[in-house]
Amino acid sequence: DQQVKQNSPSLSVQEGRISILNCDYTNSMFDYFLWYKKYPAEGPTFLISISSIKDKNEDGRFTVFLNKSAKHLSLHIVPSQPGDSAVYFCAASNAGGTSYGKLTFGQGTILTVHP
């Protein structure tokens, strides 16, 4: 049962353009969402998060949007840079319940930014 899904295995964009990575979830108990970036031979690095009480959170070039009714979130990277090329993971947590701190991850999307 895949509770967090990233349906696009890969995404290719031109440098300077917008990258949009999508994520869907099925568990309505999830109330906190995170995006991680992973380079080869490294562990995932935290990028940005959003609580379910918000619908948008920005941090520099990164913005996360949450649509609770559709159980959908997206990560926007503007402008995209070649150094952004990595695997991006969406993760969800039920911070207020018994699964305190447990993260459920999607399968990941490989982003390639071409110069």
Partner 1 sequence: DAGVTQSPTHLIKTRGQQVTLRCSPKSGHDTVSWYQQALGQGPQFIFQYYEEEERQRGNFPDRFSGHQFPNYSSELNVNALLLGDSALYLCASSLSSYEAFFGQGTRLTVV
Residues that bind partner 1 (CB under 8 A): 4, 6, 32, 34, 36, 41-46, 49, 89, 91, 93, 95, 98-108
Which whole-number Å values give the CA distances from 27 to 37, 54, 66, 69, 92, in the listed order?
A: 23, 17, 14, 12, 9
- Write down the least CB distance from residue 80 to partner 1, Å: 22
Q: Which is closer to partner 1, CB of 37 or CB of 80?
A: 37
- Write down the least CB distance from residue 110 to partner 1, Å: 10
3-state secondary structure of 7: coil
Q: Which is closer to partner 1, CB of 10 or CB of 14?
A: 10
Reading the block at residue 13, the tokens are 């964009």
Q: Which is closer to partner 1, CB of 74 or CB of 99?
A: 99
Q: Which is closer to partner 1, CB of 41 or CB of 53?
A: 41
Q: Which residues are CB-contacts of 58 (< 8 A; sequence separation ≥ 6)?
A: none
Cβ–Cβ < 8 Å for 22, 74: yes
- Write down the least CB distance from residue 8 to partner 1, Å: 14
Apex CA 102: angle with CA 98 and CA 103, to 5°? 140
- Write down the least CB distance from residue 90 to partner 1, Å: 8
